[in-house]
Structure 1
């Protein structure tokens, strides 16, 4: 065995160990969700030696999981669509149009990274309350529509498009909307897909703001609804794990399907923030 082969084997072993450590919590959650509550308390074994679906049946039949799914999907889709459209249009204006205050506006967008999002929650909650949007989809959606990284990423890609292409469209009588949606957008479908996926996942997983603005159980999103599996008799571990896995299933499946796009979006976002 050569030294190179030995290094490859050692590296492969380290990767497998890291993968096993990463996947163990998911395996533990699945094992716990497929056991009876009495078995969980009496025997916390590691191996999956029981297939009891009572926790899943109980969650699906007694909780408002379908309503929480609807709230999460609806708010996340609306947030994603609005963030992409407004971010794209703002980036186009900053990149291609010349108007007073353009550079100052871009500096404000970049500087917004320095403001922690939780620092705005008090002002946002007061504003949503004044607008009568507590316990509503728009109360969840509106404060999540400001995503500076989308504007910055789009602007970087728009800046890289040759000016000759813009001039050719203008000579043919095309306007700004024609340029944006028929030239710039088709050239950036890859980055648009990546940003859409990462924005959707971020909105889906958001817990703290929906937890603050929603008090009605029927308006809760999936992350907030998970907290409702506890009752006055204590914690039901199998139900909690079953609900957590059902809540995470769409994100896990989406990540497995669009893994390449998600990785691109994370790298782009990290590059911008770095």
Structure 2
């Protein structure tokens, strides 16, 4: 009898506990802070999606419908891909896309190597002038890039690098902001790991490659993505250093596609979408690395 009485009691207790757990989870899900955060995120998402949706709709219209007043979301003649076809026909899109991909990839790789080595030296090696150099790096963050355009252009002329890949790449590989971010991350890595490697006979380069870099994958991925996006979107410097149409990057090349009939709204929006499409794909594929890198380093607060 005892066994028959206790078994239902246990079952009843479990049945009583389960609804309370579910209720607590529901309360957490419907907390005011979570609701407010969801609303804020939704508003921010809409502020980005509305212009993107408007550009997409305009690019899918004919030029007559795009310039017609009053503005309508759905054109009377229907959507068309004429704007994209004209942009692709008028410009050398494959060559410009390759130029942007190649230069952005090389800029990202070289910037990562230089910034990581400089940041590690500033974080771990005590040398003369270390504080002064760090001060100069931080101070250089407030220098606007257009100020350096003229001296950099004269340097490229003297090095005969106009209309070359290296002329586009080299001035972009120095990134003080990335050095600062990586240095802050390296400061958080426990020194005991490096001390143990030093006791085992490892040198600085081996420690950097086999100990520090594997622990820094999130921030390295985030920095690589930020540098790539910046190099891809860079319009001013490639525009100044290139004259040959075959050497233009995609943002510069798309701006050369002009019509004799004035502003072509549909073609302009189609060009903007073509230039932004690779960056959207990069973010969609690597958004986890971006978020993880920011949360790991505290980059959002710097």
TM-score under structure 2 length normalisation: 0.81
Q: Does 1:47 align with 2:74?
A: yes
C-alpha contact (below 8 Å) 1:198/1:265 kept by paired residues: no
Q: Is it true that 1:113 corresponds to 2:145 in the alignment?
A: no
SS where residue 156 of structure 2 aligns? helix
Once the two structures are superposed, what CA deviation does each residue of 1:238-259 show, in whole Å capped at 9, x if it has no partner?
Answer: 2221121111001112112222
> For residues 160 and 8 of structure 1, what CA distance do their matches in structure 2 show?
31
SS of equivalent residue, structure 1 residue 241: helix
Are residue 123 (structure 1) and residue 155 (structure 2) matched? no
Match of 1:68 in 2: 96
Within 5 Å, which residues of 2 pair with 1:182-261? 182-261=210-289
Distance 1:228 1:169 in 2: 55
Deviates more, 1:19-28 or 1:261-270: 261-270
User: Per the alignment, in what secondary structure is the counterpart of residue 39 of structure 1?
Assistant: helix
User: Which segment is superposed worse, 77-86 or 236-245?
Assistant: 236-245
Identify the residue that residue 173 of structure 1 maps to in structure 2.
201
Count the aligned residue pairs.
270
Rounded to whole Å, the distance in 2 between the matches of 1:19 and 1:116 is: 30
Please state whether the residue corresponding to 1:229 is helix, strand or coil: coil
Question: Aligned match of 1:27 in 46, 50, 53?
Answer: 53
Q: Is the 8 A contact 1:139 1:213 kept in 2?
A: yes
Give deviations 1:103-155, integer Å, cap 9, x for gaps. 22222111211222111111111111111111221111111111112212222
Give the match's secondary structure for 1:114.
Answer: coil
Partner of 2:163: 135
Q: In 1, are the aligned partners of 2:218 and 2:292 still within 8 Å (CA)?
A: no
Write out per-residue CA displacement over residues 16-52 of structure 1, whole angstroms, 9 at most, x where no aligned residue. 4553343221111111111122222335312366221
Does the aligned pair in 2 maintain the 1:217–1:225 contact within 8 Å?
yes
Q: CA contact under 8 A between 2:97 and 2:249: conserved in structure 1? A: yes
CA shift for structure 1 position 59 = 2.0
Report the alpha carbon displacement of residue 6 of structure 1 after superposing the two structures with TM: 8.4
Runs of 4 or more consecutive aligned structure 1 residues displaced over 4 Å after TM superposition:
4-18, 263-270
In the alignment, is residue 271 of structure 1 matched against residue 301 of structure 2?
A: yes
Q: Deviation at 1:90?
A: 0.9
Q: Does 1:162 align with 2:182?
A: no
Change over 3 Å in CA distance of 1:102–1:60 after alignment to 2: same
Gaps of 5+ in 1: none
Distance 1:189 1:13 in 2: 32
Distance 1:179 1:143 in 2: 30
The higher radius of gyration belongs to 2
- For residues 69-105 of structure 1, the C-alpha deviation after alignment (integer angstroms, 9 at most, x for no partner) is 1111111111110111111111111122232222222
CA deviation after TM superposition for structure 1 residue 237, in Å? 2.0
Between 143-152 and 193-202, report the one with greater CA deviation. 143-152
In structure 2, what is the Cα distance between the partners aligned to 1:172 and 1:6? Answer: 54
SS in 1 for 2:256: helix
Q: CA RMSD in A?
A: 2.5
Instruction: Extract unaligned runs of 5+ from structure 2.
Output: 1-29
